Amino acid sequence: MRKILVAGNWKMHGSKAMVDALTRGVLEGVESTPAVDLAVFPPNLFLGQVQALAEGTRLNWGAQTLNPHAEGAFTGEVSAAMLRDFGCRYVLVGHSERRSLFGESDADVAARFEAAVAAGLEPVLCLGETLEEREAGATEAVVARQLDAVIERVGAAGFAQATLAYEPVWAIGTGLTASPEQAQAVHAFLRNKLVALDGTIGGQTRILYGGSVKPANAADLFAQEDIDGALVGGASLTAEDFVGICRGAS
Ligand code: 13P
């Protein structure tokens, strides 16, 4: 059985005061939710603050991206080892905003995934098609290409401690959610690809859905066979909504 993972991607939001209140609010709120796994992805500046508040609790944390190099003259960047030093368990790789706004190619994403695994972080590989690609019937081809680039780099073994997050670009921040059936179809497609590679790993890898997840639609999404949790953007910025999404797992 794959346990539900509810993960909050805070993107470039927050302040010290907000991070304090939100983290405390989540920790308090999840005391009365089902036993889901939990993670938050604050901006890097706040990782130490979240670590101080969440260490020893059910709440895990991670970063929104990483640089694939171990160290060196890479101004502005943060390595996998630095994230480990701040207690990160997870790291997002290949979020659509990184791909579209910061030019990360499939190969760049694969390199980041590999660096994360090598450092003992659990990468959360984000995949998803644009509206144009969906309307052209290219959804499966796009997510297959995105996944294959990583498989080619790390093989099946690289997925032993990894998570996938299917995030259709047209559903991110738009209020448009993929229907549970639409999401399930892509999740099953992705799982079948992993199963073809390695039955055990394919069966155990969590595949999260992301794109306008809210308390009102979480339960229907989580009821789908291959939807193992959510990667939440906007609704993860209030403890009440994040906790409400966790309740969808009951
Ligand atoms: P929203 O939940 O705001 O649509 O964002 C989804 C997302 O991009 C999470 O990584």
Q: What local confidence, expressed as pLDDT, does residue 45 receive?
A: 98
Q: What local confidence, expressed as pLDDT, does residue 175 receive?
A: 86
CATH number at residue 183: 3.20.20.70
Residue numbers of the domain that contains 138:
5-247
Residues of the chain with pLDDT under 70: none
Amino acid of residue 84: R
Split into its structural domains, the chain has a count of: 1
What separation in Å is there between the alpha carbon of 173 and the centre of ligand 1?
A: 6
Q: What local confidence, expressed as pLDDT, does residue 176 receive?
A: 86
Q: What local confidence, expressed as pLDDT, does residue 1 receive?
A: 79
Q: What local confidence, expressed as pLDDT, does residue 13 receive?
A: 98
Cβ pair 43, 58 in contact under 8 A = no
Q: What local confidence, expressed as pLDDT, does residue 34 receive?
A: 85
pLDDT tens per residue across span 152-177: 999 999 999 999 999 999 999 898 88
> HSE-up of 16 (CA within 13 Å, CB side)?
3
Q: What local confidence, expressed as pLDDT, does residue 177 receive?
A: 86
Cβ pair 210, 167 in contact under 8 A = yes
pLDDT tens per residue across span 194-215: 999 999 999 999 999 999 999 9
Nearest CA to ligand 1 atom 7: 233
Q: Is 40 helix (H, G, I), strand (E, B) or coil?
A: strand
**N-terminal to C-terminal alpha carbon distance within the chain:** 14
| List 95, 114, 122, 129, catalytic entry | 95
* Catalytic status, residue 187: no
Candidates 194, 178, 219; CA nearest to 33 is 219
Using CA atoms, how far residue 157 sits from 9, 161, 181, 191, 208, in Å, is: 26, 9, 29, 15, 20
Amino acid of residue 126: C
- Residue for token pair 């997510």: 143
Amino acid of residue 19: V
Q: What local confidence, expressed as pLDDT, does residue 250 receive?
A: 80
Q: Using a 6 Å cutoff on CB, does residue 218 contact ligand 1?
A: no
Q: Is residue 186 exposed (0-12), middle (13-18) or buried (19+ Cβ within 10 Å)?
A: buried
Q: Using a 6 Å cutoff on CB, does residue 234 contact ligand 1?
A: yes
What is the atom index within ligand 1 of the atom nearest the CA of 97?
8
